[in-house]
């Protein structure tokens, strides 16, 4: 093993980097021979492409495109995984009182985030499009394995949870392949598999205002760390920045004083949905929401440069953002 360690220059980890689901993905696994690690990683890449082919909102033959094309017309038969994802998305919509809603898609499209032909839609257009938003109008028939969007004009977009779901799916997949240690970073979604030489994984928390800096290090085990922020995908028009996290109630990019929300949880799919949802809620509502939950922790970064960690993660977070002008504090349950 030591030989392998030397050859690799990084304690026997083997890494692969790919571009999928519109983002850069890195996967590193440890403890395998180089040969078998490479083989496992190549198979994992194929797993990702297969999931992307189901969940993509832009690929013509994806399950999601198929569902959207048949909105208001007919139920369509899709894969079991697509059903699982949509069910999970509906659950998160209920839980977050609509702050997360995959039927926000027509609005996301209107802003150009799907095609990158960015534009600022007129008020009337937004008012019309938000009338198509409501996950209650997605009908799932589990026996027939079909999904139906009840209203013509409706559409769904799994962009807010697809990477989290993929991370969960892959971490199980790797475990089944006998991989006991690894770390996956799927564009803002990090998931730990086991431990790293008996220690927790260190995950850098990005400074949302500086691509090349972090504001601290999080320690995680078999968990997901998911960050959503307006800084990730946006465009500027007439001096104003418009980003890709939309408040489903207004149809406009959520501006509630947050610049990033990071969720730490053993449920990566939920963590992904919640990172989007809590960003939409804003700090006060998000903290109330956390106080009523017991399956995740969070770190919020506000526009006025405060870094706020919930008490359950505070011991595993080492803040380093002072020199960048951030101020740190802990949020307590009571």
Binding site for Mg ion (CB under 5 A): 160, 228, 272, 275-276
Which residue of 40, 41, 64, 102 would you call a contact of ligand ADP, by CB under 6 A? Answer: 102
Output 32 or 101, the one with its CB closest to ligand ADP: 101
User: From the CB of 223, what's the least distance to Mg ion, in Å?
Assistant: 16
From 29-37, 116-124, 273-281, 324-332, span contacting ligand ADP (CB under 6 A): 273-281
In the numeric block, the tokens 């898609």 are attached to: 105
Q: From the list Mg ion, ligand ADP, none, pick the one residue 244 interacts with, judged by a Cβ distance below 5 to 8 Å according to partner type.
A: ligand ADP
Q: From the list Mg ion, ligand ADP, none, pick the one residue 233 interacts with, judged by a Cβ distance below 5 to 8 Å according to partner type.
A: ligand ADP
User: From the CB of 232, what's the least distance to ligand ADP, in Å?
Assistant: 4
SS (H, E, C) the chain: CHHHHHHHCCCCCEEEEEEECCEEEEEEEECCCHHHHHHHHHHHHHHHHHHHHHHCCCCCCCHHHHHHHCCCCCCEECCHHHHHHHHHHHHHHHHCCCCCCHHHHHHHHHCCCCCCCCCCCCHHHHHHHHCCCCHHHEEEECCCCEEEECCCCCCCCHHHCHHHHHHHHHHHHHHHCCCCEEEEEECCEEEEECCECCECEEEEEEECCEEEEEEEEEEECCCEEEEEECCCCEEEECCEEEECCECCCCCCECCCCEEEEEEEECCHHHHHHHHHHHHHHCHHHHHHHHHCCCCCEEEEEECCCEEEEEHHHHCCEEECCHHHCCEEEEECCC
From 79-87, 133-141, 270-278, 301-309, span contacting ligand ADP (CB under 6 A): 270-278
Which residue of 135, 228, 269, 320 would you call a contact of ligand ADP, by CB under 6 A? Answer: 228
Which residue of 88, 90, 196, 244 would you call a contact of ligand ADP, by CB under 6 A? Answer: 244
Which residue of 111, 113, 132, 317 would you call a contact of ligand ADP, by CB under 6 A? Answer: 113
User: From the CB of 35, what's the least distance to ligand ADP, in Å?
Assistant: 33
Residue 249 interacts with ligand ADP (CB under 6 A): yes or no: no
By CB under 6 A, the residues from 185 to 214 that bind ligand ADP are 187-188
Residue with nearest beta carbon to ligand ADP = 159
Footprint of ligand ADP (CB under 6 A): 100-102, 104, 108, 113, 157, 159-160, 187-188, 228, 232-233, 244-246, 248, 272, 275-276, 280
């Amino acid at each position: 093993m030591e030989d392998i360690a030397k050859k690799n220059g990084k304690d026997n980890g083997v890494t692969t980097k790919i571009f999928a689901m519109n983002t850069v993905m890195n996967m590193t696994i440890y403890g395998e021979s180089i040969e078998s690690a490479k083989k496992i990683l190549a198979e994992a890449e194929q797993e990702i492409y297969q999931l992307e082919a189901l969940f993509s909102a832009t690929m013509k033959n994806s399950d999601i495109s198929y569902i959207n094309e048949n909105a208001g017309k007919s139920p369509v038969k899709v894969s079991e995984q697509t059903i699982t994802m949509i069910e999970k998305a509906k659950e998160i919509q209920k839980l977050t009182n609509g702050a997360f809603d995959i039927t926000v898609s027509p609005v996301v499209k209107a802003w150009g985030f799907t095609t990158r032909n960015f534009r600022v839609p007129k008020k009337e257009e937004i008012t019309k499009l938000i009338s198509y938003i409501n996950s209650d109008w997605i009908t799932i028939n589990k026996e027939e394995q079909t999904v139906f969007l009840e209203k013509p004009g409706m559409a769904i977009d799994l962009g807010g949870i697809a990477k989290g779901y993929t991370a969960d799916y892959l971490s199980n997949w790797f475990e089944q392949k006998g991989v006991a240690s690894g770390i996956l970073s799927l564009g803002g979604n990090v998931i730990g598999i086991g431990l790293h030489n008996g220690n927790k994984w260190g995950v850098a928390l990005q400074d949302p205002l500086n691509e090349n800096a972090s504001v601290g290090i999080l320690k995680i085990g078999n968990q997901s760390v998911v960050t959503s922020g307006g800084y990730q995908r946006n465009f500027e028009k007439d001096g104003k920045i418009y980003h890709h996290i939309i408040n489903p109630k207004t149809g406009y990019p959520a501006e509630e004083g947050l610049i990033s929300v990071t969720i730490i949880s053993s449920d990566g799919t939920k963590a992904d949905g919640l990172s989007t949802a809590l960003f939409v809620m804003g700090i006060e509502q998000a903290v109330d929401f956390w106080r009523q939950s017991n399956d995740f922790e969070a770190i919020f970064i506000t526009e006025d440069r405060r870094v706020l960690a919930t008490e359950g993660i505070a011991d595993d977070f080492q803040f380093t953002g002072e020199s960048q002008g951030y101020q740190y504090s802990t949020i307590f349950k009571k």
